[in-house]
Amino acid sequence: MHVTTIRGRKIDVGQVAFDDLRARLQGPVHVPGEVAYEEARTVWNAMIDRKPAAVVRCLGTADVIASVQFARQNDILLSIKGGGHNIAGLAVEDGALMLDMSLMRGVWVDPERRIARAQAGCLIGDVDRETQVHGLAAALGFVSETGIAGLTLGGGLGYLTRRFGWTTDTVAGMDVVTADGRLVHASREEHEDLFWGLRGGGGNFGVLTGIEYELFPVGPEVVGGVVAWPASEAPEVLEFYRNLAETAPLELTLVALMRPAPPAPWLPKEMHGEPIVAVLACHTGSPEEGEEAVAPIKSFGNPIGDVLARRSYTQMQSLLDATQPKGRRYYWKAEYLPRIEPALCEGLIEHAHRIRSRHSAITVFQLGGALNSVDEDASPVGNRDARFVLNITGSWERAEEDGANIAWAREAWADMRAFSTGGTYVNFMTQDEGRDRLEAALGEGLGRLAQVKATWDPENVFRTNRNIEPA
Ligand SMILES: Cc1cc2nc3c(=O)[nH]c(=O)nc-3n(C[C@H](O)[C@H](O)[C@H](O)COP(=O)(O)OP(=O)(O)OC[C@H]3O[C@@H](n4cnc5c(N)ncnc54)[C@H](O)[C@@H]3O)c2cc1C
């Protein structure tokens, strides 16, 4: 027996008639004890250990509609899993019926209209692979294993953000199953309020089944990769990064990072585990222009490793994957920055020296460009003044190390907050971040989001997310 409390009422989810649900679906339903159940409930961050009542692996929109209707009829909480990458584990909830979208990974590209239609269970790599067949790309994120649904519903940033804006700025339409079990298409022409809310308001308004992305000519070859120096050169490297970022063309995105050197073959063995500073760069214009743009990085100081070169766009998109594997313990703190100041650099260097795990890092991703020229209220993502995002990423292996690593991230963040725009990224928020941080992420948009919620989900059916209560 597994008792859960839903809307103040105790429910024995063992008594819920999942056989009835099975009869309504094409995809399988998995319950505790099954291997597939364990796989589905396990998300990227090993700090999250929650047990849903059952998992539906949806095979199509009809399965999503049937599951939403079943959950409402039986008064069971719903949770939705895209790529399962959310650091706060928002995809999984104790006692809930989890809709696992991972079997819905189709991508259809219309090269004439430069539109890709992707099912909501896709990972970034699925979309990149299909769009690159046509020399096109959607403006998605930096790690190819991230789910597109959670990323897009929260904003979305990556190597193309400076050219085209947040991912949500490039969405042409979305298909969503609403709380009353209807399939609705939202775009600038249809259900404009819902479309606005979906582009930053998370999974508050329904279950996304498909997304239409605008595509842009990118690749197949770009110039990208990493150059690394010993941490002793960090003051000079960060000053160099600061200046280069000021003048970088929109095609070039620069990322500064400090961490213990990973055991990568391109870094000298004796440096593995030692503190380093690195610049990750990606130029998505022509390879010739890209080589010219990154030449100053390659010739700066005395690098200990350099893998900044021409490579395929899809390879670039998966370059960071190995540094963020599923199954480790993670704790992040993030802030948007308006600029890089010398005092910020000094603070980052100091906190990088106090890192408690060989997997942790302090990273500054360059933003700015196109996202700064769009109206603040064009979508709930807002933060149109962001020029960089600082992410303090604690990453370690054993539960006994939780305290030390979380304390390190919190201390670094507490010191570095002084340099923030005051905004943060909703998709980088951890479990312990509450309403004040949601306000920092979504700002004045929260009021309008509550209105949209009242129209589309007045009973707050969809609340295993960064919840916005109906107005
Ligand atoms: C290693 C790593 C790298 C990352 N890199 C980037 C990056 O480069 N750029 C960036 O912008 N972000 C990045 N992120 C953050 C990422 O955008 C968020 O973690 C996002 O929530 C992941 O989406 P997901 O579908 O994998 O999440 P999930 O954990 O599956 O879900 C997250 C939330 O979205 C909701 N959701 C998922 N699918 C649906 C759906 N079909 N319908 C309705 N709601 C749904 C869930 O209910 C949940 O509330 C990264 C995260 C990780 C862990």
Residues 142 and 252 in one domain: no
Ligand 1: residue of 68, 152, 153 to mutate (most ligand atoms within 8 A of CB) is 153
Residues 213 and 230 in one domain: no
Domain harbouring 172, CATH code: 3.30.465.10
Structure tokens that stand for 258 in this block = 């400090």
Residues 28 and 125 in one domain: no
Residues 266 and 388 in one domain: yes
Residues 425 and 334 in one domain: yes
Residues 288 and 315 in one domain: yes
| Residue 179 neighbours by CB distance under 10 Å | 20
pLDDT at 314: 98
Residues 90 and 233 in one domain: no
Structural domain includes residue 291: yes
Q: Does the CB atom of residue 120 touch ligand 1 within 6 A?
A: yes
Structure tokens that stand for 251 in this block = 């095609």
Residues 177 and 119 in one domain: yes
Structure tokens that stand for 292 in this block = 């010219």
Residues 6 or more apart from 94 whose CB is under 8 A from it? 4, 50, 51, 52
| Residue 133 neighbours by CB distance under 10 Å | 11
Q: Mean pLDDT per segment of 10 residues, for the chain of length 471 residues? A: 52 67 95 95 97 97 97 95 97 97 98 98 98 98 98 98 98 98 98 98 98 98 98 98 97 98 96 97 98 98 98 97 96 98 97 97 98 92 96 98 98 97 97 94 94 98 96 95
Q: Does the CB atom of residue 153 touch ligand 1 within 6 A?
A: yes
Residues 81 and 204 in one domain: no
Q: Does the CB atom of residue 146 touch ligand 1 within 6 A?
A: yes
Phi, psi of 279, deg, nearest 5 = -120, 120
Q: Does the CB atom of residue 85 touch ligand 1 within 6 A?
A: yes
Residues 257 and 133 in one domain: no
pLDDT at 1: 45
Q: Does the CB atom of residue 44 touch ligand 1 within 6 A?
A: yes
C-alpha 149 – ligand 1 centre gap (Å) = 6
Domain harbouring 348, CATH code: 3.40.462.20
Residues 278 and 410 in one domain: yes
Q: Which atom of ligand 1 is nearest to the CA of 321?
A: 1
Residues 59 and 125 in one domain: no
pLDDT at 261: 97
Angle subtended by helix axes 342-353 and 402-416, to nearest 10: 170
> Which residue, judged by its Cα, is nearest atom 16 of ligand 1?
151
CA-based nearest residue to 293, from 337, 325, 251, 335: 251
Q: Does the CB atom of residue 219 touch ligand 1 within 6 A?
A: no
Kind plus residue range of the DSSP H or E element containing 280: strand 275-283
pTM of the model: 0.96
200 in Cβ contact with 155 (< 8 Å): yes
Structure tokens that stand for 277 in this block = 């500073």
Structural domain includes residue 399: yes
Spatial distance between the Cα atoms of 89 and 1, rounded to a whole number of angstroms: 24
pLDDT at 20: 87
Phi, psi of 62, deg, nearest 5 = -60, -35
Structure tokens that stand for 152 in this block = 């897009």
Residue at which a domain ends, from 50, 75, 100? 100
Structural domain includes residue 364: yes
Q: Which atom of ligand 1 is nearest to the CA of 120?
A: 41
> Which residue, judged by its Cα, is nearest atom 47 of ligand 1?
80
